[in-house]
Chain A
Amino acid sequence: MNKIRVSKNKISNFDNDKVIVEGNTINFNYSGEYEIEYVDCNDIFLIFNINGCNIKLCESSFDNNICIKNTYNIKKGYLVINKFYNNKSVSEELNFNLYECEDRIDYTFSDICLGEEKYLININHKNKKTISNINNRAISLKNSKINFIINSNVIKEGIDSVLNQNTRIVTLDNSDAKICPNMFIDLDDVSAKHGSVIGTFNNEQIFYLMSKGISYYDSLKLLIKGCLLSDLVVVADKKMKILEIIDRYWR
């Protein structure tokens, strides 16, 4: 997988003739898979243009105090994002613009929240038969705060579009979590659904696992791994890193 490194808020030199980087804009004109890692970043503003191709992005950020405003413009394309965060703090705004008929975004995000995190996700369906699947999974640790605002917007031209939002926050110890799922739909012929869940793990599940000899902490760890990793598609070394992080918190 090609790696695009964003270091100290700038895109590092990237040697791939299929991708054109102009300042803070990344243009994809050919299908492919790319890994984007934010290193030592605190203020990022990127524009991704997906033009007539299928792109898979695997994004990650670790140990940053990060402020992100990214825009993903999809024109005759299909974008899949799998993303994992474990940062000190996050303030993020994402804008997904689906311009052409049948454009699609599948967004899967997993997060271990330590401090204060705010996410604003805007999905703009600007044409007919556009599809958005937005999945967020977060584990919020003691004294952390996490807030998701997700706005799906469909204008009159977005006939037969499909909108899915699914967000689950598992709160551990005294943490503060909020989800605002909004769907602003300006016509009737749209399929839309959302599910938003905030809560702890089910005690029955923990009893079931413990009754098979698994300690409380290992049971919790299994459930956390399941919550964060079951839908996330990442390369093996990234998965190893995520497992190491989970092991670090739930030793």
Chain B
Amino acid sequence: MLSIKKLNVSVDEKEVLNDFNLDIKDGSIHVIMGPNGVGKSTLSRVIMGDNRYKVTNGEIIFADVNINELTPDVRSKMGIFLAMQNPLEIDGVSNQDFLRTAMSSHAGKNIGLYDFILKCEKASEELKMDKSLIHRTVNVGFSGGEKKKNEVLQIKLLNPKFIILDELDSGLDVDSLKIVAKNILSYKEEKKDTSILIITHLSKILEYIKPDYVHVLIDGKLVATGDYDLALDIEKNGYNKYIDMSNVIVKE
């Protein structure tokens, strides 16, 4: 599904990912954990093609295609989806207009209003979303939980193959987190080949979405890989051990 090889990324001439490697197979769930400011969100934006970040070396292969030079819209249409940590407020643009344009773009044809309403109503019901959110301005005046649900609604409408969940649990209360996680799992159950990359610094979300692999990211490098037990170890003992590990790697 996704393979990142020897990736170096800089922003404002500062290196933020360094010799980064990651392989994600079809249908697997990976987690990248790390303390604040180690490059987790950077990674998600680089995969999505944010041009503020400069790939200075290495390649990102998605579905056997090198996507280094592709724009975010093309990457999205290939099946990559980024649920952002802080979904942006877009003043003046209605959620309905935005969602329908995105769906039409993915389908390569204009999605009829009736089709759109049917799909939207079903998805928002499953997410227990207030139906009025569809008619409001994109994310403006939404609570943290509503913003995250709006991202998951997009997953259900755009049918991605690879989903990046960047700090999905931030801004979500326990009940909303359960609903959101349930919807993501049922999506994955329906589309078994879907891969998920969860980016988080807390392991709370992993109680609901069990990962196959857990990686620890420190200073732009993966310093440890394991299974769910690794996340539990971090929950119990924190990141200090891995920060020390990173210093050893740097010295070497």
Contacts and interface: CB of A to CB of B under 8 A. Distances in A.
A204 B91 CA distance: 13
B158 A212 contact: yes
Interface stretch (A11-19, A88-96, A122-130, A219-227): A219-227
A218 interface: yes
Given A204-B88, A205-B88, A230 B137 contact: yes
Interface stretch (B19-27, B97-105, B182-190, B200-208): B97-105
Given A209-B98, A210-B49, A223-B90, 4 more contacts: A211-B50, A212-B158, A225-B92, A230-B137
A250 interface: no
A216 B101 CA distance: 12
A226 B93 contact: yes
A230 B92 contact: yes
Contacts of A225: 92-93, 97
A112 to B, nearest CB: 15
B73 interface: yes
B195 to A, nearest CB: 17
Nearest to B71: A210
Contacts, number: 79
Interface in B110-141: 137
B84 A214 contact: no
B48 interface: yes
22 contacts: A205-B90, A207-B50, A209-B102, A210-B71, A210-B76, A211-B75, A212-B73, A212-B154, A213-B105, A213-B106, A214-B101, A214-B102, A215-B105, A216-B73, A219-B73, A222-B98, A225-B92, A226-B90, A226-B93, A229-B92, A230-B92, A231-B92
Given A205-B90, A222-B93, A225-B93, A210 B101 contact: no
B251 to A, nearest CB: 37
Interface of A: 203-205, 207-216, 218-219, 222-223, 225-227, 229-231
B178 interface: no
A219 B72 CA distance: 12
Interface of B: 48-52, 71-73, 75-77, 82, 84, 87-88, 90-94, 97-98, 101-102, 105-106, 137, 154, 158
Nearest to A207: B50
A152 to B, nearest CB: 24
Residue in A203, A214, A218 with the greatest tally of chain B CB atoms within 10 Å: A214
Contacts of A215: 73, 105
B73 A214 contact: yes
A209 B92 contact: no
B155 to A, nearest CB: 10
B72 A210 contact: yes
Contacts of B75: 211
B247 to A, nearest CB: 34
B69 to A, nearest CB: 15
